[in-house]
């Protein structure tokens, strides 16, 4: 008898319950993608500061180089040897991680010093556009340095772009971090 009464009791309770109505005004919120779930080409392009330690770990050393700076922050460091017309290498920081880049085409330091474009992983494109000479901020001006140039650092990955304004400095002194 107990077994027969249990289904009858459950049926009676279900029949007494009020029907659940969906709120037609409620909007279902999408679950945000985390950086682990998101494909690499949809992560935001957040540039960071390239440190001397990062440059050493990436073995980004040469006799000549160029750096793109915004204020005192180095956002791109590139290296090329003066005796080689081969490509140059560069390093940037995106989303907190160092990213190594290879200069598009050849030309070595001569091409690098006039502004250059680089390729990186996941379709990343980085371009330094040089516009005009800016005054050298050091007094007296270092004899071995080429002038600073104003310019922009353009980052592209997929449909995302980031443009930063700053200065582009090339020469022997660009191989080392600025002294504070």
Is 138 or 76 the better-scoring residue by pLDDT? Answer: 76
pTM of the model: 0.67
pLDDT tens digits, residue range 97-136? 999 999 998 878 888 888 899 999 999 999 999 986 655 4
pLDDT tens digits, residue range 15-57? 554 544 444 444 333 333 333 444 454 567 889 999 988 988 8
pLDDT of amino acid 141 = 46
Q: Is the peptide bond before 18 cis (omega within 30 degrees of 0)?
A: no
pLDDT tens digits, residue range 80-95? 876 666 778 999 999 8
Instruction: With cut-offs at 50, 70 and 90, classify the pLDDT of residue 2.
Output: low
pLDDT of amino acid 88 = 87
Q: In this structure, how many other beta carbons lie within 10 angstroms of the beta carbon of residue 29? A: 6
């Amino acid at each position: 008898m107990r077994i027969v009464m249990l289904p009858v009791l459950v049926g009676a309770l279900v029949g007494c319950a009020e029907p659940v109505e969906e709120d037609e005004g409620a909007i279902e919120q999408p679950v945000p993608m985390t950086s682990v779930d998101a494909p690499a080409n949809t992560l935001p392009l957040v540039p960071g500061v390239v440190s001397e330690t990062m440059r050493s770990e990436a073995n980004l050393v040469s006799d000549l180089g160029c750096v793109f700076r915004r204020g005192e922050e180095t956002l791109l460091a590139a290296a090329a040897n003066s005796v080689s017309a081969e490509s140059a290498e560069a390093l940037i920081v995106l989303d907190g991680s160092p990213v190594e880049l290879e200069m598009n085409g050849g030309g070595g330091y001569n091409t690098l010093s006039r502004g250059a474009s680089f390729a990186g992983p996941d379709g990343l494109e980085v371009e330094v556009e040089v516009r005009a000479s800016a005054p050298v901020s050091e007094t007296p001006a270092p004899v071995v340095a080429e002038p600073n140039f104003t310019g922009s650092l353009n980052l592209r990955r997929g449909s995302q772009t980031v443009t930063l304004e700053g200065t582009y400095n090339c020469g022997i002194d660009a191989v080392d971090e600025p002294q504070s």
